[in-house]
Structures are given as C-alpha cells and as structure tokens.
Amino acid sequence: MVKITLPDNSVREYESGVTGLEIAQSISPRLAKEVLSISVNEQTWDLTRPITEDASIKLYKWEDEEGKHAFWHSSAHLMAEALEALYPGMKFGIGPSIENGFYYDVDPGEDVVLRDADIPKIEAKMKELARQKNAYVRTDVTKAEALSYFNDKGDEYKLELINELEDGTITFYKQGEFTDLCRGPHLPSTEPIKAVKVLSIAGAYWRGDETRKQLTRVYAITFPKQKMLDEYLVRLEEAQKRDHRKIGKELELFAFSQRVGQGLPLWLPKGAKLRERLENFLKKVQLQYGYQQVITPHIGNKELYVTSGHYAKYGKDSFQPINTPAEGEEFLLKPMNCPHHCEIFKVKPVSYKDLPIRMAEFGTVYRYEQSGELHGLTRVRGFTQDDAHIFCTPDQLKDEFKKVIDIILYIFKALDFNDFITQVSLRDKENREKYIGSEENWEKAESAIIEACQERGMETIVEYGEAAFYGPKLDFMVRDAIGRKWQLGTIQVDYNLPERFELEYMGSDGEKHRPVMIHRAPFGSMERFVAVLIEHTAGKFPLWLTPEQVVVLPISEKFNDYAKKVSNVLNNSDIRTVLDDRNEKIGRKIRDNELKRIPFLLIVGEKEAETNSVSVRKQGDGDQGSMEIEQFISFINKEVEEQLSAIDNK
C-alpha cells in the first residue's frame, strides 16, 4: 500500500501502482472526468502513470495552469500526428504549450510549403484523430534506442535534441500512429480535445538561431468545449483591435525604421508626451519616498560588466563589444543600469547614518534580441527601465521592500490595473549552478521577500527556478481589460552585487559592512508598459495622462482665427490642446478626431465666436452642451483633479 496525501492534508491509502486517474475516480466520478494532470511530490505527471511510493499530490483541472499545459501539450502532439498524416516525411523540431495554446516547429521538406489555405484541412484532420480517443502512452527508452528510432526516421532535429540528453532520462510518447520524444505530461487520451483552431503559420529559425535553418511554426489552440473556443476567438478579435502596434500607429505615438535598426523604437511627439507624463508621475512618487535621480552613460567598460557578472550571463544576448582606438580597450552598450549605480555608491565614503540610499534613473539598456522574437514595444533591443536601486542595511531591508510594494500598488491603482497576482520567484530547488552568491545570503534574501509580502497581507504564488541569477524577486502579473496576463513591476533582493563591487558602509560599531541592494522597476520598461497600457485602455488614456486632452474644430475657415484663440487660451492654461483647421466638413473632422481617442472635441462657429464659448463633445458621451471658455477650463481641470484625487484615495 502507498499513502497519498491530498491538498487538504488528509491521507488515503491505495495499492501500490495506483494512478492519478484512479485516485480522482475514488474521490468523485465527476472529478475523474474533469481532471487533466497530477503533481506527485511537486512534479507534474500523467494521470495514467503509476504511483509506487508514498506521495503528496494535487489534481489539476482546466482552471489550473498545469491542467492547461497538459491539455495543450497533448494537443501539440495531436497536431504533429495530423501534419505527419497529411504530409508524409515531415520532420519535427519542438512543440511546447504556450500561454494561449501551443505551436510546433516543423520542416515540411523542400517541395512543401504550408500556407493559410492549408489550415482547414489541418484542423479537420486533428478533429478526426481526436475522435479516435487514442491513448497517450509513455515509454522509457535508452539513448541508443531513441537515436536508432529517429535515425531510421531521418529526423535530424530530434537526433540533435537526443544527443544533449543523458541516458536514463529519455521518454517517448505515442498516440495513434505518431511517436514523439517528450518529457510529458500528457492527457490520458485525445478524447477531451473537442474544439480546434489553427491560428497562424509563420517562420522560425531552428532553436531561435538565425544561422540555422528556418522552419515552419504552426500556432494553434484547443479547448474541451466549442463554446470556450468561440469565446476565445471573440477575445482574440478584441485583442487584435487593441494591438498596440496598430493603435500606436493610428495615434502617432511611436514608429520603427529599418535604417535606424530593428527593435529600436522612435518615440514620436505624442508618444514622447505620454512617456514624459508617466515618467513625471513616477518621479513625483519617488520624491515622496526619498529617491534621488541619477544619470549614467549608455555604455560602460567591458570590465564593469565582467565584475557584475552581466557579461557572463548576458554576453551572448548583448551587442558585441565596441573597440576604441586604444589597443585592447572594449566597451559595451549597457545591458543593465545596476553596475553603474554601484559605482556611484562608491564615489564617497558611506556611513550607516546615510542609509538607505535610493538611486533612481530612467536608464536605457540594450539587449540583442533575435529578430524573430521582436514584437512592437513589448520585445525590443533598446528599452528604458524605470530603474532604481536601494542600498540599505540588512535591518532596513524588509521595510524598504515593503515601501517599494506600496509604490507599485499605487501606480497600478492610478492606471486601473486592479486585477493582478504576485509571484515570489525563488531559486531552483536542485540546480544551483546558474546562481551566484552564498547559500546564506540567498536564504536571507528569500526570507525577507516572503516576510514582507506576509506583513503587507499579500497573497502570493511561489515559483521555484524563476529567480534572477543574482537574487530572488517579487514579480507582479497584471491582467488587462480583456483578461490577458502581463508581467510588469518587479522587485529583487541582491546580496551579491555589493559583494562583487566591494561596497561598504561604516557601521555604528566602527566596522565596515556590506550593504544589501534592492533592484526595483514598477513599470518594468517604459516601452513594454506603454504597450500594455495601450492595449489595456484601447488607446483611451485617462484624461490626466493622455497626450492630447482637447481638439478645437472650427466649422469653417471663417472661424479659424477664433479657434486659434481658443487653442492658445487652453494651452496657456496647461490644457493640452491641438487645432484641426483643415478645410474639411465638420462631420469628417469629428469622426477623424474621435478615432484619435482625444477626450474632448470643441466645436466653434459663429455663435461660439460671438459668445466667447465652445460647443463641447466628450469621447464616448456625445454632446455636453455649450460652455464659456473659462467655464470649460474649470470643467476639465475639475475632472483631472477628481481623477488624481481618486488615485490618492484608493
């Protein structure tokens, strides 16, 4: 017999070899129909895998990320089976589940090109195979057996993957006529897969390497019910309407130029205004919390990043060193701001009385992301972090960490990001090689984060293996207006960089001590945050933030002079106003400016010119009636004040 501990800490006994599916059946037949995967001693397994020793388990359904992962990973194998049936001789790279669905990288062969026109028949074949209710069967194989199988099949991509694995760790999964190299976990069978949608067909270099062959990447998603797929497609259509690349172009916020370089955004005047207001908003908050602004160069001597450890960790993903006329001298575009801030700390002697020192910078950093990974503002090669580093004593660490939490929560409330979860990212439980620093310092840092969250009453999830290489962190995962999840703010505790840079302060005991360092970025990066904000609001920014609050529309050229007067009065009253004096009909002007998401449209003609007034239209609310100019100034200022007051009172 084996003892099985359930999530409520109750213990049940079963015969050795019991499966997760049998355990679910013993609890409830309905649960057995809904469960998709199981964790056994914190490792996710197939429901049909025998349990032969005492274990703690969790059963995962569709609502759980682990359940979706098994469902979509199994669906990736189903799609691969369909593709192999339709296109014999196709070779396969990798087919992981992703946040929404899955993809498979495939090599169709020299004479086959997958196109959008092929999507219906791929979907039809997947549904046909799913209805066969074929079991996913896991088999342990030796490395020699695995190599032999895929060598006979002629699939060099799988052979490359197998050669990197250790003997004794290799498993195959088979369903129907398809066999794949895979760790799992998978569903018991294809039966739960009821609704299928192939989303797109794109190109992707093998293993993300531009020097390797370009494969075909097929994206898809599946659901246990057709209704779920229908609802997802509605959300997907809404997401396409909110795409920050589309809205950013319409609102003239940012652009990209091949001559400037891929992944290097150009902020247009309106986008620069938006970004400036966000920066000023955070600067004001930081000032209240005792931060000091600093500015550091865009480059640094290579040795700076060797010392920090960033060169070893980011060297492959960074731009190549810049050689100067001096022999052997090399500089790098900075991948991070923190090494520069460490050097600022060392400029003068520091006493415990000076701590904490809080340095803030909107610092631009550079990473050479692969071209296939670039995506609008969310994945770029040059981005500005709202970076700050707090240097404090170990005794101050927890309080400083809690203050940073307060700043991030304040910003989220200000911008209506009210749906979020917090994730404590800790080291991998087994693989410690990818982290720097002592075990003792890591334990201190991890404990400080957990205790700070508890004292702030925050519910958190814990993810092992997600920490930064130099320290654990707290990540904020925000859900936008249509339910998509984005990682935005982050706070990290670091005992290691102070050690590497030999940072010191004089303690009250007259001895020298190492400070602790907190890295924090409430926005994360200005580029990514603006992208998420655009998609969250669909480009309809809060009145206090929007680059253009008002547009003045003369009904004909006769009233252009009066319209200019109104525009000047409003701009001189710190109301961001533009003038649309094109020789167009007023109806066309109204439609065009509503598409620009400008909150207030002021229409002026003969009546308004005679009475020193404006006719007011509000975005989404229509006609607001006629107001004198001073009355409108008071009206709009009151709305801005109410918005900002509401933020402070939340």
338 catalytic per annotation: yes
Check whether the bond before 50 is cis (ω within 30° of 0). no
277 annotated active-site: no
| Per-residue DSSP letter, 116 | G
Name the E strands within 580-638: 600-604, 613-618, 622-628
- Chunked in runs of 10, what are the mean pLDDT values of the chain (650 residues)? 91 93 93 94 92 94 94 97 96 93 94 93 97 96 96 95 94 96 95 96 88 93 97 92 95 96 96 95 95 96 92 79 91 93 96 97 92 89 95 92 93 90 88 79 86 88 84 90 86 90 96 94 94 94 95 95 96 96 93 94 95 93 93 94 80
Can you read off the two tokens belonging to residue 256?
A: 């990209």
Q: What is the pLDDT of residue 650?
A: 56
| Alpha-carbon separation of residue 191 from 74, 229, 423 (angstroms) | 11, 16, 34
Whole-number Å distance between alpha carbons of 390 and 309: 19
Cα separation, 430 vs 56, whole angstroms: 19
The distance from CA 345 to its chain's CA centroid, rounded to whole angstroms, is: 31
Tell me if 531 sits within 8 A of 409, measured CB to CB: no
Contact 425, 474 (CB under 8 A): yes
Judge contact between 620 and 640, C-beta under 8 A: no
User: What letter represents residue 497's amino acid?
Assistant: L
One of 69, 138, 313, 338 is an active-site residue; which one? 338
Q: Return the CA Rg of the chain.
A: 29
pLDDT of residue 503: 97
- Which residues touch 634 (CB under 8 Å, ≥6 apart)? none
Instruction: Write phi, then psi, for 521 (nearest 5 degrees).
Output: -150, 95
Q: Kindly tell me the sign of the dihedral angle through the C-alpha atoms of 45, 47, 48, 49.
A: positive
- Look at residues 83, 79, 80, 34 and name the one whose alpha carbon lies nearest to residue 59: 34
**Residue 274 pairs with which residues in a beta bridge?**
none
- Is 338 annotated in a binding site? The answer is yes
The separation between CA 286 and the C-alpha centre of its own chain, rounded to angstroms, equals 24
- Indicate if 473 belongs to the active site: yes
> Cβ of 239: how many Cβ atoms within 10 Å?
15
Asked if 264 and 507 count as a contact pair (C-beta separation under 8 A), the reply is no
Given the residues 519, 528, 589, 617, the one annotated as active site:
519
Q: Are 295 and 361 in contact (CB under 8 A)?
A: yes
Cα separation values, 580 from 274, 563, 635, Å: 20, 9, 22
Q: Specify the pTM.
A: 0.82
Determine which one of 197, 340, 341, 385 is catalytic: 385
Under the phi-then-psi rule, with left for phi > 0, alpha for psi from -120 to 50, and beta for the rest, what region is 189? beta
Which residue in 283, 367, 514, 618 is the catalytic one?
367
Instruction: Show the tokens assigned to 143.
Output: 């490395």
Q: Is 340 annotated as a binding residue?
A: no
What's the helix, strand, coil split of the chain in %, to 5? 40, 25, 35
Q: How far apart are CA 233 and CA 237, in angstroms?
A: 6
Write the CB contacts of 158 (distance below 8 Å, at least 6 apart in sequence).
91, 92, 150, 181
Query: What is the reported pLDDT for 356?
Result: 97
Please work out, in degrees rounded to the nearest 5, the angle formed at the alpha carbon of residue 288 by the alpha carbons of 282 and 293: 60
Question: Per the residue annotation, which of 389, 536, 589, 596 is the catalytic one?
Answer: 389
* Token output for 471: 């320290």
Catalytic residue among 387, 475, 480, 494: 387
Rounded Cα distance, 497 and 465, in Å: 20
CA–CA separation, 565 and 577 (whole Å)? 11
436 three-class SS = coil
> Which residue in 193, 185, 406, 196 sits closest to 286, CA to CA?
406
Q: Is 392 annotated as a binding residue?
A: no
H or E segment at 529?
helix 526-537
pLDDT score for 634: 96
Mark whether 385 is an active-site residue.
yes
**Residue 183's closest CA among 305, 91, 95, 123?**
95
Amino acid at 633: I
SS (H, E, C) 274-324: HHHHHHHHHHHHHHHCCCEECCCCCEEEHHHHHHHCHHHHHHHHCCCCEEC
pLDDT for 387: 93
Q: Which residue, among 538, 455, 456, 523, has the nearest Cα to 491 in the 3D structure?
A: 523
Report whether 58 contacts 84 (CB < 8 A): no
Q: Tokens at residue 410, please?
A: 């304040």
Instruction: Give the pair of three-digit tokens for residue 488.
Output: 């935005």
Rounded CA-CA distance 518/468 in Å is 12
Q: Which helix (H) or strand (E) is 25 found in, with range?
A: helix 20-27
DSSP of 253-273: -EE--TTT-TT--EE-HHHHH
